[in-house]
Amino acid sequence: MYEIKVDNQSIVLRTPPPRELKSKILDVLNKRICAFKYLLSRYNWDFAFLVFTATDRAQHFFYQDKEFIAQIYKYIDEAIREFMKITNENTVIFI
């Protein structure tokens, strides 16, 4: 099954959040990035956007884990660099 979001409704009531949530957040983030790279490179877009929810999830559930939060941001930074390589010089990127 292709997942586009982390189902956190059942997680909200648990303290602390389950460890598997970290890998789920990274997995969904990776799938979104791969799908977006594919779409960017395959089609000629007038407009495209991607929302990174991993930063929100990580900070809500793992606010005490600075290393994990930094890992998420570094991963997203690298993805944005890759998106910039796929697009041309006339592309406007908002962050």
Local mean pLDDT, 10-residue blocks, the chain (95 residues): 58 62 91 95 91 92 93 97 90 88
Given this model, what pLDDT does residue 20 score? 83
Given this model, what pLDDT does residue 19 score? 76
Given this model, what pLDDT does residue 6 score? 67
Start-to-end Cα distance in the chain: 29
What span, in angstroms and rounded, lies between the C-alpha atoms of 40 and 36? Answer: 6
Burial class of 72 by CB neighbour count within 10 A (0 to 12, 13 to 18, 19+): buried
Alpha carbon separation from 29 to 14, 40, 68, 92 (Å, rounded)? 22, 16, 13, 22
Residue type, 76: I
